Amino acid sequence: MATVQLNTEEIYKLLEDVKDPEIDTVSILDLGMVEDVTVSGQDVSVKMLPTFLGCPALSIIQKNVESALRQLPAVKNVSVEFLRSPSWTSDRITEKGKAGLKVFGISSSSTNEK
């Protein structure tokens, strides 16, 4: 039986297409929400950080991550977990993410976060 090897690079590439449901100009990767991706056989595990604890979009983001990754035929199971630690801060937003936020009308400064 032929096995297709999954690699994390492919996964990250797909995650670039998953946008913040409330800000469609920036991906969850550029927001710094993805803490870790691990691949084990056909199973993918994505560990994420909520931007704030009361974020109502977390379950939508989770579903969007799952359906984005299932596009790969080699992917069998996707598990998405939101971690309690470390804490997300705006320092995690990439330069590309900041540009995306700006397009949406949000200016971000990395120094205003406590």
Does 113 bind another protein (CB under 8 A)? Our answer is yes
Stretch that binds another protein, among 13-21, 47-55, 68-76, 100-108 (CB under 8 A): 47-55
* CA-angle at 14, arms to 42 and 93, nearest 5°: 120
List the one residue from 8, 38, 87, 110 that touches another protein (CB under 8 A): 87
Does 79 bind another protein (CB under 8 A)? Our answer is no
Whose Cβ is closer to another protein: residue 42's or residue 82's?
A: 82
CB of residue 104 to another protein, shortest distance in Å: 17
Cβ–Cβ < 8 Å for 30, 17? no
Tokens standing for 48? 């994420």
Q: Report in angstroms the alpha-carbon separations of 94 from 1, 32, 49, 72, 98.
A: 41, 7, 15, 26, 6
List the one residue from 3, 4, 54, 111 that touches another protein (CB under 8 A): 54
Does 8 bind another protein (CB under 8 A)? Our answer is no
Stretch that binds another protein, among 16-24, 35-43, 53-61, 72-80 (CB under 8 A): 53-61
What is the torsional sign of CA 63, 27, 39, 9?
Answer: positive
Helices (H) and strands (E) in the chain — how many of each?
3, 5
List the one residue from 14, 23, 55, 74 that touches another protein (CB under 8 A): 55
